[in-house]
Amino acid sequence: MDWHVLMFLHMIGMLALGFYLVLPFILGRMEKLSPAAKEGTLSAISGFNRFAQYGLVIQLLTGGYMMTKDEYSVPWMIIVALLLLAMFALGGIMSKPLRLAASGMKQSRDVSSEIGKIRTLSALLAVSLLATLFFMVFNEII
């Protein structure tokens, strides 16, 4: 496969992951919303989280293939793979509190504990993505 096509697909996957960078800011503004708007926001976040998970799959496939075609250090490959796995795990873990918070909003329950978990997981996702970006740009450091 042509290197440019792979890089294009890899960048498409990266754009899908951009959601994880803005998610903490979206959650920060959610407190000011009405209950119906919060429910809609949680539903949208759940859908975008699923979309970002597909972006992670694209990253895994294209990045994994590109790593085999070039010279990268083993520590760099391990760090990048662990960060990718961390994002997979955090995004997957976040889906349950999202689902519980959305159903709790429909039942007019207190969902502050679920929202707190979502906030923590979103911050960890953003940090993981920024760390991945750092290692992608400065891959010769390690």
What confidence tier does 139 reach under pLDDT thresholds 50, 70, 90? confident
**Mean of the pLDDT values across residues 31-42?**
91
The per-residue pLDDT for range 104-125, each reduced to its tens digit, is 998 989 999 999 999 999 999 9
Each domain of the chain, given as residue ranges in start order, spans 3-137
Main-chain dihedrals φ then ψ at residue 2, nearest 5 degrees: -65, 140
Provide the Cα torsion 92, 20, 17, 37; round to 10°: 90
- C-beta neighbour count of 69 within 10 angstroms: 10
What does the buried/exposed string (b/e) look like for 32-61 if buried means 16 or more CB atoms within 10 Å of the residue's CB?
A: eeeeeebbebbeebbebbeebbebbebbbe
pLDDT at position 142 is 79
Which of 20-24, 82-86, 106-110 bottoms out in mean pLDDT, i.e. has the lowest?
A: 106-110
Summary mean pLDDT of the chain: 93
Asked if residue 41 has pLDDT above 90, the reply is yes
Q: What is the pTM of this model?
A: 0.91
